[in-house]
């Protein structure tokens, strides 16, 4: 059921101040929002592709809007990246950022200097492929190990793979790079690698793998002997993580944690350690899911989206016994990529889910209570950027990288 929203006397006051700090442009945003009944409409104003699809529960799509009250600064601190995909902090506050073409950059904490790390295995960087996400070993300070995902070119095509190696002491190369996991079957395509990496609290790695987009590979999202369209959990050696839900079941690959995913480009742990995932749907139907071990998330026959041709998928099935409903979905698509739960120093944003959006060209802030979305805000819409990944900086600020090669810093004023 759609929440009915009475929108009267919405008074919005935006004050944009533009100033210069060094050579980076800072935009200061102060918002004062008053409404007669304290409610705002959902920020989406476009028609749905599938107006006849009913959400499974109230609050599953287009919840009421929220507006940040605190003032914050938005600045570009580096614009010399190429096509970045994943970003993490090094322990000293510098940034380690992947480049799709096959290397990583180290950017100083103030954004002013940049250097190159090379020596990674060859990637297939066509279309959505390349060197994609990165994660630091939880014990990085002692072992300097890093993990990354990439589209590995092999005979017959490519697949999402996970590599690991040691960052050399001069920070110019990766020593002894090894591939520890391959999300097979190999396919000759260039789309939907999924590819986020998140370390769990137990020191094992969650890896998301896409279903490779084509009609031919789509059924593999439901095939539990294939790695496509899955969230996987592996050890640092690439073995099935102890405690995985299907260990010992011969009908399932033991690395599988959940299945029935389309193109899961977002993975994040919340403050209690629950795993959340964001995946791009087809035309409409982009989803946020709360991932539970062993569950089926429905793709490719349960979705709130439709084919790009306009045809319904599986006769318009949006709910099915044995499959999990998304916590939230968007129609039309906003195509989110990297996500994170905010842990920084803007009190108002604490534990909100931040989603970098590509075609949607914004960062979405979702307020979540008891695992349900209760508020949505669109941030940085005026920047017209494809936000590929977002990071909770260890300095308490939010950072984001864009397909245009920029590093944004969003900080409390």
Kindly identify the residues of this chain, within the stretch 18-47, that bind Ca ion according to CB under 5 A: none
Instruction: Of 268, 213, 207, 242, give the one whose Cα is nearest residue 391.
Output: 268
The answer to the question of residue 378 lying near Ca ion (CB under 5 A) is no
Q: Which residues of 38-60 are buried (b: 16+ CB within 10 A; e: fewer)?
A: eebebbbeeeebbeebebeeebb
What are the angstrom distances between the C-alpha of 119 and each of 41, 54, 104, 195, 241?
50, 50, 10, 20, 28
Torsion angle of alpha carbons 137, 236, 175, 134, nearest 10°?
-50
Burial environment of residue 198 by CB neighbours within 10 A (0 to 12, 13 to 18, 19 or more): buried
Contacts of residue 170, defined as CB under 8 A and 6 or more positions apart, other chains included, come to none
- The smaller minimum CB distance to Ca ion, of residues 177 and 293, is found at 293
Binding mask 298-317 toward Ca ion (x if CB under 5 A, else -) reads: x-------------------
Binding mask 98-117 toward Ca ion (x if CB under 5 A, else -) reads: --------------------
Kindly identify the residues of this chain, within the stretch 261-300, that bind Ca ion according to CB under 5 A: 297-298
Alpha carbons within 13 angstroms on the beta-carbon side of residue 150 total 26
Q: Are the beta carbons of 390 and 133 closer than 8 angstroms? A: no
- The smaller minimum CB distance to Ca ion, of residues 295 and 386, is found at 295
Minimum distance from residue 105 beta carbon to Ca ion (Å): 34
Minimum distance from residue 57 beta carbon to Ca ion (Å): 14
Q: Using CB under 5 A, count the residues that bind Ca ion.
A: 2
Minimum distance from residue 262 beta carbon to Ca ion (Å): 7
- The smaller minimum CB distance to Ca ion, of residues 48 and 412, is found at 48
Minimum distance from residue 303 beta carbon to Ca ion (Å): 6
- The smaller minimum CB distance to Ca ion, of residues 40 and 290, is found at 290
- The smaller minimum CB distance to Ca ion, of residues 105 and 303, is found at 303
**Maximum Cα–Cα distance for the chain, whole Å?**
63
Is 261 assigned a catalytic role?
A: no
E-only strand ranges, 188-248: 194-199, 205-209, 230-234
Minimum distance from residue 297 beta carbon to Ca ion (Å): 4
- The smaller minimum CB distance to Ca ion, of residues 231 and 401, is found at 231
Minimum distance from residue 314 beta carbon to Ca ion (Å): 12
- Residue number of the CB closest to Ca ion reads 298
Kindly identify the residues of this chain, within the stretch 43-102, that bind Ca ion according to CB under 5 A: none
- The smaller minimum CB distance to Ca ion, of residues 86 and 281, is found at 281
Q: Are the beta carbons of 265 and 208 closer than 8 angstroms? A: yes
Q: Extract the tokens encoding 401.
A: 């990288």
* Distance between start and end Cα atoms, the chain: 39
Minimum distance from residue 327 beta carbon to Ca ion (Å): 10
- Rg value, the chain, Cα: 21
Catalytic residue (choose from 100, 192, 261, 362): 192
E-only strand ranges, 275-327: 275-280, 286-291
Using CB under 5 A, list all residues that contact Ca ion: 297-298
* Residues tagged active-site: 192
């Amino acid at each position: 059921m759609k929440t009915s929203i009475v929108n009267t006397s919405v008074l919005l006051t935006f004050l944009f101040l533009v100033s210069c700090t060094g050579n980076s442009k800072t935009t200061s945003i102060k918002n004062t929002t008053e409404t007669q009944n304290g409610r705002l409409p959902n920020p989406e104003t476009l028609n749905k592709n599938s107006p006849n699809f009913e959400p499974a529960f109230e609050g599953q799509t287009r919840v009421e809007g929220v507006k940040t009250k605190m003032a914050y600064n938005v600045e570009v601190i580096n614009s010399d990246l190429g096509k970045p995909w994943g970003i993490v902090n090094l322990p000293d506050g510098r940034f380690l950022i992947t480049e799709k073409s096959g290397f990583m950059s180290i950017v100083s904490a103030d954004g002013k200097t940049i250097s190159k790390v090379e020596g990674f295995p060859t990637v297939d960087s066509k279309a959505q492929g390349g060197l994609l996400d990165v994660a630091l070993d939880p014990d990085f300070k002692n072992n300097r190990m890093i993990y990354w995902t990439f589209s590995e070119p092999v005979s017959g095509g490519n697949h999402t793979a996970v590599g690991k190696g040691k960052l050399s002491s001069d920070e110019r190369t990766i020593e002894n790079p090894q591939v520890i996991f391959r999300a097979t079957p190999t396919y000759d395509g260039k789309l939907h690698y999924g590819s986020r990496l998140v370390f769990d609290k137990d020191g094992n790695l969650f890896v998301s793998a896409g279903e490779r987009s084509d009609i031919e590979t789509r059924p593999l999202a439901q095939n539990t002997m294939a790695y496509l369209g899955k969230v996987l959990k592996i050890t640092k050696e690439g073995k099935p993580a102890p405690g995985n839900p299907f260990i010992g079941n011969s009908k399932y690959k033991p690395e599988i944690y959940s299945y029935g995913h389309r193109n899961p480009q977002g993975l994040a742990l919340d403050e209690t350690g629950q795993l959340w995932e964001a995946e791009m749907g087809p035309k409409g139907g982009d989803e946020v899911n709360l991932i539970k071990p062993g569950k089926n998330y429905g793709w490719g026959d349960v979705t709130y989206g439709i084919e790009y041709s306009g045809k319904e998928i599986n006769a318009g099935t949006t709910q099915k016994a044995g499959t999990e409903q998304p916590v939230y979905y968007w129609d039309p698509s906003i195509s989110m990529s990297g996500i994170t739960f905010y842990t920084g120093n803007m009190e108002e944003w604490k534990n909100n889910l931040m989603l970098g959006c590509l075609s949607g060209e914004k960062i979405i802030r979702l307020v979540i209570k008891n695992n349900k979305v209760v508020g949505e805000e669109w941030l940085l819409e005026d920047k017209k950027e494809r936000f590929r990944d977002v990071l909770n900086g260890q300095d308490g600020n939010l950072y984001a990288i864009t397909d245009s090669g920029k590093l944004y810093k969003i900080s409390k004023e």
